[in-house]
Amino acid sequence: MYGSASTHDLPSTAPTGLENEDPILLAEFEARIARGEKIEPGDWMPALYRKQLTRMIEQHAHSEIIGSLPEGTWITRAPGFRRKMAQMAKVQDEVGHAQLLYSAAETLGKTREQMLVDLINGKSKYSNVFNYPTPTWADSNVISWLIDAGAIVNQLANAKGSYGPYCRALDRICAEEAFHLKYGHDAVVHMATGTPIQRKMMQEALNRWWPAIMTFFGPSDKMSVHTEILMRWKVKMASNDECRNQFLDMYVPKIWEIGLTLPDANLRKNEETGQWEFTEPDWEDFKRVINGDGPCNAERLAVRRAAEENGAWVRRALSAGKTHQYVRPLA
């Protein structure tokens, strides 16, 4: 699960360092990408490409493990065998995605251990939606369906990017996310067409999550920083607004179809432009939350920190006597 609602865009004022790169190698690199070739771990790449990709894949990996927490708390409370086993398998997949992604990021030179240290110190970000609470079973279902749906829109685009290990990991991840989508949809439909208690729970959960879902793909393109180089290098593959519009196109009709409403009176598709119109999300609140002041930021990181600290003795035991090894990508 992942969105662009993090901070991997390149600030327009940031130095690119491109003037220090070998112009011939750089031209060859760009020509390869333009031809649609994939860049592999041992290949030459500009420092900026390595840095941006590391940051992006790392944030994606963090989003998977942090994202497993809000749904994970519902494994022990899932109603009935069928849901309990499916919820476990679904959340397990997300942790497996993190494993694939950390491996892809490690091929760029940063260790998993260092990435996790940066996560718990607040240096690295993760998808902002996971800083919101999941107070009911229905909230967990909304994540399984709609956050995973958003993630698929985003990840299918990024799977066409230029870095081989990341693209191959995304292909595998998207295949699993497609099952999550079906699982989430099935759970939501059961609730939305169920007893009055279930319908009320589901509508309230959707109302709670809708503002966060609208920010899932990140700030509007008109507010976005300059990303021309990242687009040319196929690090960033689709604009935030394009992804958001595609998501609304695919899922708003499905939400309405099962009798649920959305808490935005201005939400409608403009048939002339093909674009969805909606109340502009509260981007100030988004910035405040992503910078650490959301309802669950502290709790999420505290859980992760405790896991790292409690498990440190196991990792010390595993690495006893070993030196650094070559990292082979899992995909």
Partner 1 sequence: MDPKLDLLYRLADDQLILGHRNSEWNGLGPILEEDIAFSSMAQDKLGHSLQLYGLLHELGEAEPDTVAFTRNAPQFHCCQLVELPIGEYDFSLTRHFLFDHAELLRFQALADSSYEPLAQVARKLRGELKYHALHANTWMKRLGTATDEAIERMQAALNFTLPYALGIFEKTDAEAEIISSGLFIGEDELQSRWLESITKVLGQTALTLPDLATATPVFGGRHGQHTEHLQPLLDEMAEVFRLDPTADW
Torsion of CA 250, 252, 253, 259, to 10 degrees: 140
Q: Does 318 bind partner 1 (CB under 8 A)?
A: yes
Determine the interface stretch with partner 1 among 98-106, 160-168, 206-214, 253-261 (rule: CB under 8 A). 98-106
Residue closer to partner 1 (CB basis): 234 or 304: 304
According to CB under 8 A, which one of 60, 62, 83, 234 is a site residue for partner 1? Answer: 83
Q: Is 316 in the site for partner 1 (CB under 8 A)?
A: yes
Using CA atoms, how far apart are residues 147 and 212, in angstroms rounded to an integer? Answer: 10
331 touches partner 1 by CB under 8 A: no
What part of residues 185-204 is at the interface with partner 1 (CB under 8 A)? 187, 190-191, 194-195, 197-198
Near partner 1 in 124-153, by CB under 8 A: 137
Residue type, 31: A
Q: Total residues at the site for partner 1 (CB under 8 A)?
A: 46
99 forms beta bridges with: none
Closest CA to 192 of 181, 180, 201: 201
Nearer to partner 1, 24 or 197 (CB): 197
**Between 54 and 103, whose beta carbon lies closer to partner 1?**
103
Distance CA 220, CA 281 (A): 9
Question: Strands 268-270 and 275-277, how do they pair?
Answer: antiparallel
Question: Would you say 127 and 1 are in contact if contact means Cβ atoms under 8 Å apart?
Answer: yes
Q: Per rule CB under 8 A, is residue 92 in the interface with partner 1?
A: yes
Cα–Cα distance measured from residue 127 to residue 44, given in angstroms and rounded to the nearest whole number:
30
**Closest to 129 (Cα-Cα) out of 109, 143, 116:** 143
Helix (H, G, I), strand (E, B) or coil at 40: coil
Chain residues 277-306 in contact with partner 1, contact rule CB under 8 A: 303-304, 306
Q: Which is nearer to partner 1, 242 or 308 (CB)?
A: 308
Please state the φ and ψ torsions of residue 39, each to the nearest 5 degrees.
-90, 135
Asked if residue 315 binds partner 1 (CB under 8 A), the reply is: yes
Amino acid at 253: P
Q: Which is nearer to partner 1, 130 or 233 (CB)?
A: 130
Applying CB under 8 A, among 10, 57, 78, 212 the residue interacting with partner 1 is 78
Helix or strand run (H / E) with residue 277: strand 275-277
Give the C-alpha separation, 13 to 257, whole Å. 46
| CB closer to partner 1, 195 vs 325 | 195
Residue 235 C-beta: closest distance to partner 1, Å: 25
The footprint of partner 1 on residues 258-277 (CB under 8 A) is none
Positions touching partner 1 (CB under 8 A) are: 65, 68-69, 72, 74-81, 83-85, 88-89, 91-92, 95-96, 98-99, 102, 137, 187, 190-191, 194-195, 197-198, 303-304, 306-307, 310-318, 320
